[in-house]
Amino acid sequence: MAFTEPLRRSEDFGPGDYEWLHLLVGDWQLVSDLGFADLVLSFPVDYIPAAGSGNGRGMPAPGSAFEVLAHVRPLTGPTVFHQDLVGELLPAELSGPLRAAWVARRPDTLRAGAGRGEGARQVTAVPLVRNGRTLAVLTVHTRRRAGEGATRQELVYRETADLLLRMANEGLWPDFSAPTGSRRGAPRVGDGAIRLDADDRVVYVSPNADSSLRRLGIDGELVGERLMDLVPPALGAGSVPDETLAPVLTGRMPWRTEVSGSRASISFRSVPLKDRSSRFGALLLCRDVTELRRRDLDLVSQEATVREIHHRVKNNLQTVSALLRLQARRMTTPEARHGLEQAMRRVATIALVHETLSQSFTQNVDFDELIERQFRLAAEVAAPEQSVRTRMIGEFGELPARLATPLALVINELVTNAVEHGLGRRPGTVTLGARRTPGTEDGGPRLEVVVSDDGAGMGRPAVEESGAAAFRQAGPGEGLGMQIVRTLVASELDGTIRWAPREGGGTEVTVSVRLEEP
């Protein structure tokens, strides 16, 4: 259930309000780290909608408790609350001040001793106002007051946090145009922070930010300088800066960008600081992502290498298949020719799986796309002069490569067996079905594959085999194909296989395969 569910129960709030709160909670770690504070989002348990409040705005009922909807702790300092508060009620002594802040729509600071928790010395209530309506109340819980032996870094961080909270109170932050999510390499407060003034000049650089810029090749005093005058020259004469660089380094737009020099790659994020009438500076976060990008490049290189290997294996298997075809044409006995043609068909099936993997960016295979063509081809090759219809039911979905190859071989053999022995020389239909079953207490999810025909039938009771029993010697009327099927099902697929008469005539073969937990 979404944490905005209490708001959704009231007609006072709309989808834009929910999304804005989700955007805030998705990015409020920034404020928590800057303010060295726990942030708690709460909503009144007893809410009076606008229609019944008498003044056209919804509000908490007198004496209503406030339920915690979300809670975040700082990564830059100790937490106030060691236990998660979501779902709990804030202390009763806070209900009155929180209701007053809700109605007044202005932040209110409660001095030491007003909050709950270990060592909480100050609580600030920040109503979150959007389009003239309070949506919820954000409480800021800190262990000590700003200014008590605080360093320059702490003072700048807390001042920036206060500005962002004031913007949140006015509905100006977060901005819907800002990037969301913790994208790989996204900078955080602890990675490096830079404050800019209204003229885009640096007024403070954290030690980590200073180190990142020096690795980029920017030396000397940074305070008072404009980053747009320093960063592009440090990238080298041949570099072409991204078009987002200027809006980010000047703090004009809430965007992200990344620059790469000869020694380092740095990711920047801009958070403009403003009120309703003017912009008075910006916060820039920066992070050295050199190692991350090197690993990303290695991963891309490895993925390309794996795809190239699959491509070469496919080519080699196709060469083997072509050699078997040439050899089969030279055979003078029908049995030898048939045996080589079957071997050629099996090699071609494995080659088809590697061809699919060579075109994929993952080690999973869209098995439906792969097997549909192979299913029809197997039926045609098994009886080129016979009228055999094929039908597919259900979906296999994506399967890992370790299952795709043996399963494709199993289906190929079962379809061939259904055409050659099930239908004989008569026309008929071969059906391939797939069904996934969810996990149970006895085991994980499974894939059931059914190959059936409407031929003469097996003429004997159902037979089910799995495990060591599947490695028996071939029985009467069984050839190499059935031995391959039993062996692959038991060893490679860790599954079971069952032969049974089909209702309405014919044979039905069911293969059950164990799948990995999602």
pLDDT digit string, tens, across residues 340-359: 777 777 777 777 777 776 66
pLDDT confidence of residue 118: 45
Q: Over 90: is that where the pLDDT of 314 sits?
A: no
Q: Over 90: is that where the pLDDT of 36 sits?
A: yes
Q: pLDDT band for position 50 (50/70/90)?
A: confident
Identify which of 22-31, 109-118, 437-446 has the greatest average pLDDT.
22-31
Average pLDDT over all residues of the chain: 83
Q: Tell how far CA 353 is from the center of its chain.
A: 26
pLDDT confidence of residue 284: 97
Q: pLDDT band for position 56 (50/70/90)?
A: low
User: How many Å apart are CA 31 and CA 189, to the nearest integer?
Assistant: 9
Q: pLDDT band for position 126 (50/70/90)?
A: very high
User: How many Å apart are CA 441 and CA 116, to the nearest integer?
Assistant: 43
Q: pLDDT band for position 471 (50/70/90)?
A: low
Q: Tell how far CA 105 is from the center of its chain.
A: 37
Least confident of 27-31, 53-57, 101-105, 449-453: 53-57
More confident residue, 462 or 134: 134
Provide φ and ψ at 308, rounded to 5°. Answer: -65, -35
Is 38 exposed, middle or buried (CB count within 10 Å of its CB: 0-12, 13-18, 19+)? Answer: buried
Q: Which domains does the chain have, with CATH numbers?
A: 5-169 (3.30.450.280), 189-288 (3.30.450.20), 384-518 (3.30.565.10)
Q: Over 90: is that where the pLDDT of 42 sits?
A: yes
- Report yes or no: 109 and 93 within 8 Å, Cβ to Cβ: no
In 3D space, the residue among 395, 305, 320, 402 whose CA is nearest the CA of residue 353 turns out to be 402
Q: Over 90: is that where the pLDDT of 155 sits?
A: yes
Q: Where does 45-107 show beta strands of DSSP type E?
A: 47-48, 59-60, 66-72
Is 466 exposed, middle or buried (CB count within 10 Å of its CB: 0-12, 13-18, 19+)? Answer: middle
Residue-wise pLDDT for 488-512, tens only, equals: 888 888 888 888 888 888 888 898 8
Give the percent of the chain with pLDDT over 90: 38
Q: Over 50: is that where the pLDDT of 120 sits?
A: no
Residue-wise pLDDT for 244-297, tens only, equals: 899 999 999 999 998 988 888 899 999 999 998 889 999 999 999 888 877 766
Q: Over 90: is that where the pLDDT of 33 sits?
A: yes
pLDDT confidence of residue 319: 80
Q: Can you name the residues that pair with 270 across neighbouring β-strands? A: 284
Q: Over 70: is that where the pLDDT of 517 sits?
A: no
Q: pLDDT band for position 190 (50/70/90)?
A: very high
State the CB neighbour count (10 A cutoff) for residue 454: 20
Q: Over 50: is that where the pLDDT of 115 sits?
A: no
Average pLDDT of span 409-417: 86
Dihedral sign (CA 182, 187, 189, 195) = negative
Q: Tell how far CA 355 is from the center of its chain.
A: 27
pLDDT confidence of residue 165: 96
Q: What is the DSSP string of 24-62?
A: HHHHTHHHHHHHT-EEEEEEESSEE-HHHHSSSS-EEPT
User: How many Å apart are CA 310 and CA 142, to the nearest integer?
Assistant: 57
Q: Can you name the residues that pair with 142 across neighbouring β-strands? A: 122
**Length of the chain as a residue count:** 518
pLDDT confidence of residue 468: 52
Is 224 exposed, middle or buried (CB count within 10 Å of its CB: 0-12, 13-18, 19+)? Answer: exposed
pLDDT confidence of residue 208: 95
More confident residue, 62 or 375: 62
